[in-house]
Amino acid sequence: MITKNKVVTLNYRLFEDNKQGKKVEETYGGKPLQFIYGIGMMLPKFEENLNNKKTGDKFSFTLVPDDAYGEYKDEAVFDLDKEMFKIDGKIEKDLFKVGNVIPMQDNNGNRIDGIVREINEKTIKMDFNHMMAGKTLFFEGDIVEVRDATPEELEHKHVH
């Protein structure tokens, strides 16, 4: 049964809005998702919807933006001077295409991903909202396995 400190292995399909919406992601036919339940690896409401499920159980649930990646915020979009993207005096042209995700750092050195939204003569418009911000998410899937996490997995905070 899925409870705190259990390793959960599951397959899922993720759609925007509802089951009839655009399919965003799927693990069926690929590598199932594995995580340690209850240690903050997943969205809290995602985990809440899996609580007490068992191997073989099916699930489907919807997460509204406030329970997923939040609302889209215009204030998370910035025009950044192209000069700040220079490496060894040059800008990597292939990197800057609309839609590309560029790993960056915030003022505290934390990694944040920015999406290139627009390229201008002197600036690049970068969007630091999560790619799923403002979207309602619909998940459906199957629990493949539930097991106790090993002491090593709990110490390292990831599945081995």
Rounded to an integer, the average pLDDT of 7-31 is: 97
Q: Beta strand 101-105 with 137-148: parallel, antiparallel or unpaired?
A: unpaired
- The DSSP output letter for 159 is -
| Level-2 CATH architecture, domain 6-69+133-156 | Roll (3.10)
Q: What is the pLDDT of residues 101-159, one digit of tens each?
A: 999 988 898 999 999 999 999 999 999 999 999 999 999 999 999 999 999 999 999 99
Give the start-to-end residue ranges of the domains of the chain: 6-69+133-156, 74-127
For the stretch 68-83, pLDDT in tens is: 999 999 999 999 999 8
Q: Determine the Cα–Cα distance for residues 87 and 101; give it in Å rounded to an integer.
A: 17
Q: Quick check: 128 and 72 in contact, CB under 8 A?
A: no
Report the alpha-carbon distance of residue 9 to residue 145 in Å, rounded.
5
Confidence of residue 8 (pLDDT cuts 50, 70, 90): very high
Mean pLDDT of the chain: 95
**Model's pTM, two decimal places?**
0.84
Distance, CA of 137 to CA of 43 (rounded, Å): 12
Residue 67 and residue 139: Cα distance in Å, rounded?
Answer: 13
Residue type, 131: M
Q: What is the pLDDT of residue 89?
A: 81
Residue 87: how many other CB atoms lie within 10 Å: 8
The CATH fold assigned to 74-127 is Thrombin, subunit H (2.40.10)
- 78: CB partners within 8 A, 6+ apart: 125, 126, 128
- For 59-70, the pLDDT digits (tens) are 999 999 999 999
What pLDDT is stored for residue 88 in this prediction?
83
How far the first Cα of the chain sits from its last, in Å, is 20
